[in-house]
Amino acid sequence: CKRNRCTKECKRSILNTCFKAFCTLNTDDYFFQEDGYFFDPALLGDAHDWNQKRAGDAMLRGRSPVIIDNTNIQAWEMKPYVTLALECGYRVEFVEPDTSWKCDPAELEKRNKHGVPQESIVKMLDRFELPISVDIVMNSFEPPHKSKKHRSKPHRQRRFKNM
């Protein structure tokens, strides 16, 4: 579930004003195509790998800040990004929205753009790990039941380029 009140366009406008070399990356971008958004859960692993590669490329080019706008709800999900950031000499900050409804499943269901049902949002909130820190992330491990195997299939041309 996305828990940000400000739209991507709003965030980008604010960041453009404050930072010239900012970079916002989201795994959802993988599923955007010229004719719309087409989410395929079978490709989620590939999408995460793709976004992590983009993050690494941005950091190696010195983009700053590099913002990972993902639904990472457990520490281990953030670890590839935090590892890249530390290896490239970045300072890592974790930012949560300051809204009254950020933990309200009914309101989050109304506001999410991808039709995520309330019952799924409740499960995500139940797994949400707080507090979070670099040490917690770096000492976390991917659960054994999560598979690293991705079923790749040809993907139509994405609207977003690799930065």
- Which tens digits make up the pLDDT trace of 33-67? 889 888 898 999 999 999 999 999 999 999 999 99
The Cα–Cα gap between 120 and 137 comes to 24
User: What is the chain's mean pLDDT, rounded?
Assistant: 83
Q: Has residue 157 got a pLDDT over 50?
A: no
In a 3-state reduction of DSSP, which class is residue 103? Answer: coil
User: Long-range contacts: 121-128, Cβ < 8 Å, 24+?
Assistant: 121/1, 124/1, 124/71, 124/73, 125/1, 127/73, 127/74, 128/73, 128/74
Please, where are the H alpha helices in 61-146?
75-87, 105-111, 118-127, 134-138
pLDDT for 59 = 96
Q: pTM here?
A: 0.76
Instruction: Identify the residue with better confidence: 150 or 139.
Output: 139
Helix (H, G, I), strand (E, B) or coil at 90: coil
With a cut of 50, say whether residue 120 has pLDDT above it: yes
And the tokens for 3?
A: 């828990």
The confidence score (pLDDT) of residue 156 equals 46
Residue 8 clears pLDDT 90, i.e. is over it: no
